[in-house]
Amino acid sequence: MIIGFDAKRANANFTGLGNYSRFMVDTMATYGDEHKYRMYIPKQCKNASYDSLLKHKNVSSILPRSSVMKRFRALWRTFFIKRGLLQDGVQLYHGLSNELPVGIHRTGIRSVVTIHDLIFLRYPQYYHRLDRIIYNRKFNYACRKADRIVAVSECTKRDIVKFYGISPEKIDVVYQGCDPVFARPVSKKEKDRVRAAYGLPERFILSVGTIEERKNLLLAVKAVEKLDDVHLVAIGKSTDYAKKVQDYVEAHGLENRVHIIHNLKFGDLPILYHLASLFVYPSRFEGFGIPIVEALSAGVPVIASTGSCLEEAGGEHSIYVDPDDVEGMANAMKKVLADEHLRREMIEKGKEYVVRFDPKTLADEMNAVYLKCFDDKTFTEDRFVQTSSNKQAYFFTDCTASRDAQGHWGDYTVGAAAIS
């Protein structure tokens, strides 16, 4: 089968949606390697991580073809990409970042959209009014027109049902995994290099994520203030909220204990996790919380906030604190840092928990979602197999659509093959 991906974020974004998009393309190309994958991008950005996806022989990158569409890239991605999808023989299109092309449901091409979160509806105060209007229209349209919806957490699934009135039967939860590099052992030489490069203390608590108000870094800073000789290292993009955090740090004499790094090299991030004694993620609300999975994969115990989906990312052996409870966060930090037996137990149980985010398992689950797009009527029972993870997964080898005399696209004829 030929599968098209909306890969704008995979090419243009270096965090969040970009990481998800690249992870999903890489995972599907690796474990669904009998398919062909087309990554559609409105323009080419310099991005080595995106370029590395092209190492897969079944993956290609496609730009607007005409000079007019190259000038009006946003229109191409939203409205006119459909012609190219049909010319390329795409049979299923996956919007990896909350959007689908307008009218794709009328082409005969089946569609899946991944919805990451509806935070702009839950916490509108964090977004400009115009942005909220645009996001709402795009997300709502995609949810209503897609054949299937992928939610990155049960929390996001509940929000889709609540805010858009979508039937839960149309929504599948497929979690995001993280790059396997976070779980790999790190040499002492590499640890020493990174520690020296960023001037890191011997022992510290780590926090990773865009430094914005919703991420609530000040909770961690205020908690560290209550502890003796405890350092906090925060990694994230500089924002207006980052200045607010820095002002608090300076006003309370914490410059020597709170270290904020804005321009960390991605290759150094896994090493930083391995250097940390504890990871904190005090965000008020997330769609999933991939830094928690990264931390657990690296063998770092986690403290996160209650109130959204973070328990899904961290499992029952991580610790959760109200996002406004400074005293509770400080006590949790102190408890984990002081009790080595507890810390080691959290590390062990955390590594056991993140096995569920294994890329092969997630690829099987996503393939099962793709199958549902083609409706049970077109399939017979001999078109599915048991995979190694004991889940039913379906892999298509041939899929064609036909048009009637009026030019309308009709039903798909689909063939499927088992893999072992």
- pLDDT 10s digits, 278-299: 999 999 999 999 999 999 999 9
Structure token digits, residue 13? 């974004």
**pLDDT(409) > 60:** no
Query: What is the average per-residue pLDDT within 166-184?
Result: 95
Average pLDDT over residues 292-313: 96
Task: Determine the longest span between alpha carbons in the chain, in angstroms.
Answer: 78
What secondary structure letter does DSSP report for 156? H
Cα 273 from Cα 263, distance rounded (Å): 16
Token pair, residue 135, equals 């996001």
For residue 59, list its beta bridge partners.
37
Helix (H) or strand (E) holding 270: helix 269-275
Fold agreement (2-177+358-416, 180-355): yes
Please state the φ and ψ torsions of residue 2, each to the nearest 5 degrees: -100, 120
Q: Quick one: CA torsion of 152, 154, 158, 161, rounded to 10 degrees?
A: 60
Q: Domain spans of the chain?
A: 2-177+358-416, 180-355
- pLDDT band at residue 34 under the 50/70/90 scheme: confident
419 CB-near residues (< 8 Å, 6+ apart): 34, 385, 387, 393, 395
- CATH topology (fold) of 2-177+358-416: Rossmann fold (3.40.50)
Half-sphere exposure of 89 (CA within 13 A, CB side): 8
Backbone angles phi, psi at 357, to 5 degrees: -100, 20
381: burial class by Cβ within 10 Å (0-12, 13-18, 19+)?
exposed
The CATH architecture one would assign to domain 180-355 is: 3-Layer(aba) Sandwich (3.40)
pTM for the model stands at 0.85
Average pLDDT, rounded, for the chain? 89
* Helix, strand or coil, per DSSP, at residue 49: helix
Rounded distance between C-alpha atoms, residue 395 and residue 413, angstroms: 14
